[in-house]
Structure 1
Amino acid sequence: MPPGTVAMVLAAAVAHAVWNLASKYKRGDAVLFVCAYTCASALLCVPIGLAFMADGQQVLGWQLAAGAAVSAVLHTAYSLTLQAGYERAELGVVYPVARGTGPMLAMLFAIVLLDEQLTAAAMFGASLVVAGILVVTGNPFRSGSRRPLQGLLWGAATGATIAAYTVWDGYSVVALHLAPVSYYAATLLLQSLILTPSLLRRRHRIRAAIRGDAVPILIVAVFSPLAYILVLTAMLKAPVALVAPLRESSIVIGSLVACRLFGEGHLARRIAGAVIVLAGIAAISL
């Protein structure tokens, strides 16, 4: 993978870590929070996407409509599956399993479905990135963990949805030739429409939620689309099978910063995982 593309994906990882850290400061209803930042992201991105269309960089056609519709369904399925997993099993099990299986499945799907070809060094590097992520997140089956099997199943289901939207979005920007900004703007718009019924059911709490979580909502609304548009752009220049695990290095960044901001422990283990991820990044870039 070209060093410039590696840098782009790592920049996306930083942006991803920023919005995930901001979301930890959320105080209100989780569903309202997701609805609020999704709608805010759509308000920010749709005008930019329309500008790309006016400039001739994207044509409004069935490819854009179909690609964005499938992507919106997959992204919504990811959000709902993740939320259901967190409600039914421990976050400490669901989160690492999802983030470990997601990039690995995306890599396998991209090789099988998109017929991507990787060198042995690139596959080794991608595997190192996934291994480092698992080291950072820790052992989900540590003593004291309840219902590990249920957490494993929900984590794997979440990882499957991550892999599904990653591979589909890669196919959309590469094979369907959709401009990343316009494509993701359309996806956000359709996601907002899908989430509208949930928003209406909670309409009496909207004002309080926005007032209480205005800053986190704004940060997520800006950095979440920025991170993913960088990833989609990188998919135009590098295989999805490599971009998928590399973007998950955001977990390492977020975990290390969380040690400082939130007083979370296991610093030595997280640093060790970060070193493994950096070794994988080096192998991919070479």
Structure 2
Amino acid sequence: MLNLAILMVLGSGFLHSIWNLYTKKSLNKNVFLWFCQLAAFLIFLPWTLMEWDASQLTGTGLWIVLASMCLHGLYMTLLAATYTVGDLSQVYPIMRGISPLVVPLVGVTLLDEQLSPMGWLGIICIVTGIAALSNVQLFKRSGSASLKAPLLALAVGLCIASYIVVDKIALNYVSAVVLNEATNVGGILALSWAAFSSGGMRKEIKVNWKIILLGGLLAPGGYLLFLFALSLAPVAQLAPMREIGTVFGTIMGIFILREKQGARRLFTSILITVGIIIVGLWG
């Protein structure tokens, strides 16, 4: 079962990086993501209806699912803002690296847990990689890179860390398919105002309708793989492995989108991924 879970998680990471590439290439990120969420909702609706009767959407279960919807909605809104101002090869590793960084640090500082020396080494790798990608210049004010994109990416990463924990709990009350459909609704609601007020709905669907349909399948499909894997193995063991998508996304940004600073960003994305794996397996 563990080997199957690992394969599902690695596939999830790859699919996640692909639809993030498409999001970055889109004309209007809010509109594109809104259409992708709508397509995902329609594609997975029949499957959701078949599994609806097994759901326990009362009391605690309902509140947990609503919390998941809110977090995924916030995630989609921040994701659109991040890709509007930042390169894929810069912000994607930051977004994916924050989640496995925050969880162990919270455990050490608030829950009186312990990190092994290897765990601290992994933390140092992640922090170093994120700082390098953020291009922070402490002693040069003129010409320093804007921190808007890295800060937005950090916010996205915090959302990812939060919804992974909430979704793991939600699986006790609903199936992965029903939960995934609920998060699609959360994304649609969160993006609606920005999408409809942008004036770019018709142009986006005309130019990218094929990619939107593909994104509507890949985005929830990749996360469904991860949710199914969570039912087979512990989240602490699987979540770090999913972040191999960090390297995939960076490579796509460098070689497909022709983004600058390719060598440095590739190295730092690998450094973050190595740190994530160290924390996950030996922390």
The alignment's TM-score, normalised by the length of structure 1, stands at: 0.75
- Identify the residue that residue 211 of structure 1 maps to in structure 2: 206
Q: Compare 192-201 and 17-26 and name the one that shifted more.
A: 192-201
Alpha-carbon spacing, 1:6–1:121, altered in 2? closer, same or farther (3 Å): farther
Give the C-alpha shift of residue 200 in structure 1: 3.9
Deviations 1:93-148 (A, max 9, x none): 765544332331144457899x8x9995995796588469649x735226843344
How far is 1:280 from its partner?
6.0
* Consecutive unaligned residues in structure 2, runs of 5 or more: none
Match in the other structure for 1:34 = 33
**What is the identity, as a one-letter code, of the residue corresponding to 1:195?**
L
Q: Match of 2:67?
A: 70
Q: Deviations over 1:249-274 (max 9, x none)?
A: 21201212333323345347626753
Matches for 1:46-65 after TM superposition, within 5 Å: 46-54=45-53, 56=54, 58-65=55-62
- Rounded to whole Å, the distance in 1 between the matches of 2:173 and 2:77 is 29
The answer to whether 1:7 aligns with 2:7 is: yes
Q: Distance in 2 between matches of 1:46 and 1:112?
A: 42
Mean alpha-carbon deviation: is it higher for 17-26 or for 257-266?
A: 257-266
Q: 1:70: Cα distance to partner?
A: 1.1
* SS of aligned partner of 1:141: coil
Aligned with residue 266 of structure 1, among 251, 262, 267: 262
Alpha-carbon contact 1:6-1:285 (below 8 Å) kept = no
Distance 1:218 1:274, change over 3 A: same
Superposition TM-score, scaled by structure 2 size: 0.76
**What is the match of residue 250 of structure 1?**
245
**Secondary structure of 1:238's aligned partner:** coil
Match for residue 184 of structure 2? 188
Q: Residues of 2 paired with 1:186 and 1:159: CA distance?
A: 20
Task: Work out which of the residue numbers 231, 235, 244 in structure 2 matches 1:240.
Answer: 235
What percent of counterpart residues are identical?
Answer: 25
SS at match of 1:183: helix
1 CA distance for matches of 2:109 and 2:174?
22
Q: Summarize the Cα distance change of 1:182–1:75 in structure 2 as closer, same or farther, 3 Å threshold.
A: same
Equivalent residues in 2 for 1:274-285 (5 A)?
A: 274=270, 277=273, 281=277
2:222 alignment partner in structure 1: 227
Matched to 1:159, the amino acid is G
1:77-156 aligned at under 5 Å gives the runs 77-84=74-81, 96-108=93-105, 120=116, 123=119, 127=123, 130=126, 134=130, 138-141=133-136, 144-148=143-147, 153-156=151-154
Amino acid at match of 2:63: A
